[in-house]
Amino acid sequence: MDYFLQQLINGVTLGSIYGLIAIGYTMVYGIIGMINFAHGDIFMVGAFIALITIVALGITAATPLLLLIAALVLVLVIAMALTAVWGWTVERIAYRPLRGSFRLAPLITAIGASIALQNFVQISQGARNKPLQPLFQGGFQLSDGAGTGFAVQLSYMQILIIVTTVVLMAGFTFLINNTSLGRAQRACEQDRKMAALLGVNVDRTISLTFVMGAALAAVAGLMFLMYYGVVDFFIGFVAGVKAFTAAVLGGIGSLPGAMLGGLLIGLIETFWSGYFSVEYKDVAAFSILAIVLIFMPEGLLGKPEVEKV
Amino acid sequence: MTMTEPLLKVRGVETYYGKIIALKGVDLDVHEGEIVTLIGANGAGKSTLMMTVCGSPQARNGSIVYAGEDITTKPTYEIMRTGIAQSPEGRRIFPRMSVLENLMMGGMVAENKYFEDDLKRVFELFPRLKERQHQSGGTLSGGEQQMLAIARALMSRPRLLLLDEPSLGLAPIIVRQIFEAINELNKTDGLTVFLVEQNAYHALKLAHRGYVMVNGVITMTGTGKELLSREEVKAAYLEGGRH
Ligand SMILES: Nc1ncnc2c1ncn2[C@@H]1O[C@H](COP(=O)(O)OP(=O)(O)OP(=O)(O)O)[C@@H](O)[C@H]1O
Ligand SMILES: [Mg+2]
């Protein structure tokens, strides 16, 4: 039981990170119908920007707690803003010129953009792992493992990740459902031409979608960095594939789907590693994706194509 | 014809779909306060003209001047912010948005302070929409969607309203209601209306002036009454389907 609880905590933490990245995939797919394969690398860029900012500000575990928190909020804002610029740029350079061209074209430039980002970071930051000393240590001991010999830990870091994710996702859901920007985004998703006929600047709305996805990926990047304490130029590939899987599992194009999918992939991966074998955790995640897609081709929360009259 | 500058002035407009020409030099005027209708056979280019006025697609040659400003090459979203609204062919309701949200989309270019009043007004015009305000657009009946498309266009407080076949697929009684509503908006609010219709008889009766389009060119124009009495019009567009 204790072991189970621990896996659950770890799984939810990992799932939070995947979920935040998955939102970027799902929103871009929703609005322009393409998979932004460079999104995983945007996440990686976000993690690096966060790392550079942390080092530049001289933040360490020795920083007094209040100051530490304030500094991290600053890091978060900087990372979100700069990563958003990257997301915006990728859209402008790699995707917008090809809008309206054949379907495969943006997919190819997406892969190109992904490689370019990886190589850029590899060259400018070096190919080796970049470590970060833990900023928060300790946590709550939920069970001391007296009976079972297994102590359950909920670390402060995990709390931070889960709480931040929940807050961001709630805010984001509100934005999409209840603001005029969110409505414009959904309108572009459903009928771009009509949206333009109602005065929506479609290009700008698409840009903003990339910007928002990138900003969330930056949050995920910062949390990944603080949780694992190490980043390299290749983390975007692995995390990107997982988050993409999460988006498809939840139903690509669906916002709650991306969140649910992220959570599930995180849980599956953690439980599989915990109970079976670490080596096959990815196989487990992908197998479940395959099975779900066989029975629910739209994903768990995907919407069936609504035919227009 | 009055001497004042028309609200919408279309001159020599040519529109292409790829290499295929759809409008072959169209001239047309809509004056402030008028109801003008455009009739023509299927594929004549009526919807293309409506969309060209809105810049989607843009005219390759010729000019479109609205309220004294050349809008020929403006992007669609800018044109739609200058007081032009369209209820397009096929209605194009956002299927996964509620009726209310569809109307909010319509009101996006208008100032927020008018929203509640405008909403009340379109609900008075189409009480049906009020009952259905939380239903999603995609599940409305065809007629309800048509009402919503018109209401959505009105929410932007247009000066010039473009309606592409507003009576399509509607029961005769609803058609009458919609035409009455158009007439009312024109009389009381001075709304200028440019209307494409298959239902030529009703449209020509309602309109101050009309144009007939054949194969991408305007072939006839005159007041609604004049056109209704022309033999060519009767033969081609009024056969059988009057009233
Ligand atoms: N997107 C498009 N691509 C290519 N050709 C098009 C496109 N839209 C319209 N056309 C062609 O342009 C011509 C004019 O079409 P349009 O829709 O303007 O006709 P219409 O007068 O509105 O007809 P209807 O009464 O059937 O609505 C037609 O020959 C049509 O096939
Ligand atoms: Mg048409």
Question: What DSSP element (H or E) covers B70?
Answer: strand B69-70
Ligand nearest to the CA of B214: 1
Handedness of CA B52, B58, B59, B64 (dihedral sign): positive
Q: Where are the domains of chain A?
A: 2-125+134-143+150-295
**What pLDDT, on a 0 to 100 scale, did the predictor assign at position A142?**
77
Is residue B92, in this structure, part of any structural domain at all?
yes
Q: Kindly state the tokens that stand for A118.
A: 């990886």
User: Considering only CA atoms, which of B164, B219, B11, B107 is closest in space to residue A187?
Assistant: B107
Whether residue B159 lies within 8 A of chain A, CB to CB, comes out as no
**What pLDDT, on a 0 to 100 scale, did the predictor assign at position B232?**
82
Q: φ and ψ at A99, to 5 degrees?
A: -65, 135
Rounded mean pLDDT of chain B? Answer: 91
Is residue B228, in this structure, part of any structural domain at all?
yes
pLDDT in tens, A40-81: 999 999 999 999 999 999 888 888 888 998 999 999 999 999
Residue in chain A nearest B169 by alpha carbon: A309
Is residue B1, in this structure, part of any structural domain at all?
no
Structural domain of B84:
8-238
What's the CATH code of the domain at B117?
3.40.50.300
**What pLDDT, on a 0 to 100 scale, did the predictor assign at position B243?**
42
Residue B2 predicted with pLDDT over 70: no
Q: Are B55 and B96 in contact (CB under 8 A)?
A: no
| Percentages (nearest 5) of helix, strand, coil residues in chain A | 75, 5, 25
Q: Which ipTM did the prediction report?
A: 0.93
Q: Kindly state the tokens that stand for A205.
A: 């709305």
User: With an 8 Å Cβ cutoff, are B145 and A303 in contact?
Assistant: no
Q: Are A36 and A213 in contact (CB under 8 A)?
A: yes
The CATH code for residues A2-125+134-143+150-295 is 1.10.3470
> pTM for the full model?
0.90
Is residue B3, in this structure, part of any structural domain at all?
no
Cβ contacts (< 8 Å) between A196 and chain B: which residues?
A: 56, 75-77, 80
pLDDT in tens, B43-68: 999 999 999 999 999 999 999 999 99
Least confident window among B170-174, B197-201, B239-243: B239-243
- Amino acid (one-letter) located at A116: A
Q: Rounded mean pLDDT of B32-47?
A: 94
- Ligand 1 site residues (CB inside 6 A) read B 17, 20, 22, 40, 42-48, 89
**What pLDDT, on a 0 to 100 scale, did the predictor assign at position B239?**
62
pLDDT band with cut points at 50, 70 and 90 for residue B174: confident
Q: Are B107 and A199 in contact (CB under 8 A)?
A: no
pLDDT in tens, A283-293: 888 888 888 88
Residues forming a β-bridge with A60? none
Into how many domains does chain B fold?
1
Q: Which of B20, B194, B199 to mutate to test the pocket of ligand 1 (most atoms within 8 A of CB)?
A: B20
- Integer angstrom CA distances of residue B194 from A220, B122, B166, B168: 52, 19, 11, 16
Q: Give the integer Cα–Cα distance in Å for B162 and A105.
A: 36
pLDDT band with cut points at 50, 70 and 90 for residue A275: confident
The residue among B54, B56, B71, B105 with the most chain A CBs within 10 A of its CB, best to mutate, is B105
Tally the residues of chain B: 243
* Cross-sheet strand order for the sheet of B69-70: B20-30, B8-17, B61-66, B69-70
Is residue B209, in this structure, part of any structural domain at all?
yes
User: Considering only CA atoms, which of B56, B70, B30 is closest in space to residue B191?
Assistant: B30
Cβ contacts (< 8 Å) between B75 and chain A: which residues?
A: 196, 201
DSSP-assigned letter for residue B13:
E
Q: Which residue has the tokens 């304030």?
A: A70
**What pLDDT, on a 0 to 100 scale, did the predictor assign at position B79?**
96
The residue among A188, A197, A202, A307 with the most chain B CBs within 10 A of its CB, best to mutate, is A197
